[in-house]
Amino acid sequence: MDEQWITNQGDIERIHALCLQANNVIVVSHKNCGDATGAVLAFSDYLFSHGVSHTVCLPAPVMNAFRFLPGVEKIQSTPQSLDQVTDLVIALDAADARQAGVEKMIDHWKTAGIPIVVIDHHYTNDGFGTIHWIEKDASACCLMIYEYFKTIHEPITPSMATCLLTGILTDTGSFSNAATNYEALAVASELLSCGAQLSTIMNNTFRAVEDMASLRLWGKVLSRLKYHKKYGIAIACITQRDLCECGVKEGELESVANIMNVVRDIRAGMVLMELADGTIKGSLRTTRDDIDVAHIAAFFGGGGHKKAAGFSLQGTLLETEDGWQVM
Ligand SMILES: [Mn+2]
C-alpha cells in the first residue's frame, strides 16, 4: 500500500471502514503516558462496541497513575502479543515504530500488505505507517480520537470520556502548558457532559509523588541539582543507587520530570534517570514559548514535543565536580 496522508473527514470515515472490516486489529501506543493509555482504551471501547476483535498492546505495564482507567486490564505487553495474526494495525500517539514498540514487526506487516494507521500529534512523527493522520497542532492524541468519534457519530460513553479527558489533562499539564487552547477546554467540557470522572482523574494522575519514599528520594535528588549557566538548563540526576537507598522503583518516577516546571527562572529542566537495563532515560520540560526541548532531545537521538521531550542513552551516571558525566 502506498503512503497516504489524511487531510479530511472522508479519510476518517475510511479508517472507520477499515476497522469495521478487520478480523483482528492490533492497537498500539507508547508507554507511561496518560494520552497514549487513554487513547488506546477509548479506541478499544469503540472497536468493542462494533464487535471488532482486537488486542491492545503497550511496551510496558501501565504505571500506577493510570491504573484507574476503565478497561486498563485489557492492556497487554508488547512484543509478545504482536505475534498474532492481524489484518489492521492502529498506532496512536506514537512518533515512530520504536516508540510504539513495533519496530520488530513493522517491516513484516508492511511486506504482508497490512494497513498500519498512524493517528498522532507529535511534530517529530516520522510517518512509519501506511496511512497517516497527523495533527501537529493538536493538544493531545485524545483530542483527535474525540474528533474521530464525532465524525463517525460514535456515542461517547462515560468510560471513553474518562479515558479521553485523561489524555487531554496529562498532555496539557492540567491546562497549564502551551498546548492548552480553546479546543482542549471545549472538548474537556464536552467530555464532562458525557460523564468523564474529573475528580478520579485528578486524584490518580496529578499526585507528582507516589509515597513518602519517593518524596525522600526527591529531597536527595534536588539537593544535588545542577544548573547549566550557558544554556539555562537545570539538571536533576537519579541513579540506581538513589533508588535502591530510598526503596523506590523506577516505574514510580516516570511522570515527575514536570517537577522542574515549578522553577520560574530556568529556560528548561532535564531529569536524567539511570534504568536497571543499563540505559539512561532523559526527560526535558519547559514552560517557555521560546524554547523547543524536542530540538535538544533530537540532539541526543530522541524526540517529542516543544514543551516536553525525551531521549535515551546507553551508560551510567557519574557525579563530577562541576556536573554529571555519562560513562
Ligand atoms: Mn500525546
Q: How far is ligand 1, taken at its centre, from the CA of residue 220, in Å?
A: 30
Q: What is the share, in percent, of the chain residues with pLDDT greater than 90?
A: 67
With cut-offs at 50, 70 and 90, classify the pLDDT of residue 307: confident
- Predicted confidence (pLDDT) per residue in 246-300, tens digit: 998 887 665 566 777 777 788 999 999 999 999 999 999 888 889 999 999 999 9
> What would the mean pLDDT of 111-118 be, rounded to a whole number?
96
Instruction: Look up the CATH number of domain 212-326.
Output: 3.10.310.30
Q: How far is ligand 1, taken at its centre, from the CA of residue 248, in Å?
A: 27
Q: How far is ligand 1, taken at its centre, from the CA of residue 141, in Å?
A: 5
Q: How far is ligand 1, taken at its centre, from the CA of residue 121, in Å?
A: 6
Q: Given this model, what pLDDT does residue 5 score?
A: 63
Q: How many CA atoms lie within 13 A of 37 on its CB side?
A: 29
Is residue 78 predicted with pLDDT exceeding 90?
no
Please, is 288 exposed, middle or buried when counting C-beta atoms within 10 Å of its C-beta (0-12, 13-18, 19+)?
middle
Q: Given this model, what pLDDT does residue 264 score?
A: 78
Q: How far is ligand 1, taken at its centre, from the CA of residue 134, in Å?
A: 11
- How high is the mean pLDDT of the chain? 90
- Predicted confidence (pLDDT) per residue in 165-211, tens digit: 999 999 998 998 888 999 999 999 999 999 999 999 999 988 766 77
Q: CA 99 from chain center: how many Å?
A: 9
Q: How far is ligand 1, taken at its centre, from the CA of residue 272, in Å?
A: 21
Q: How far is ligand 1, taken at its centre, from the CA of residue 41, in Å?
A: 14
With cut-offs at 50, 70 and 90, classify the pLDDT of residue 4: low
CA neighbor of 216 nearest in space, from 262, 248, 252, 260: 248
Fold of the 4-205 domain:
inorganic pyrophosphatase (n-terminal core) (3.90.1640)
Which triple of cell numbers denotes residue 35? Answer: 494520552
Q: Given this model, what pLDDT does residue 254 score?
A: 58
Q: Given this model, what pLDDT does residue 177 score?
A: 81
- Predicted confidence (pLDDT) per residue in 213-245, tens digit: 888 888 898 899 888 888 899 999 999 999 999
pTM, full prediction: 0.78
Q: Given this model, what pLDDT does residue 1 score?
A: 41
How far is residue 97's CA from residue 101's CA, in Å, rounded to a whole number? Answer: 6
> What would the mean pLDDT of 122-151 be, rounded to a whole number?
94
Q: How far is ligand 1, taken at its centre, from the CA of residue 303, in Å?
A: 12
Q: How far is ligand 1, taken at its centre, from the CA of residue 73, in Å?
A: 21
Task: Give me the residue spans of the domains in the chain.
Answer: 4-205, 212-326
Q: How far is ligand 1, taken at its centre, from the CA of residue 3, in Å?
A: 23
* Residues, CB-to-ion distance under 5 Å, ligand 1: 35, 93, 141, 171
Q: How far is ligand 1, taken at its centre, from the CA of residue 244, in Å?
A: 31
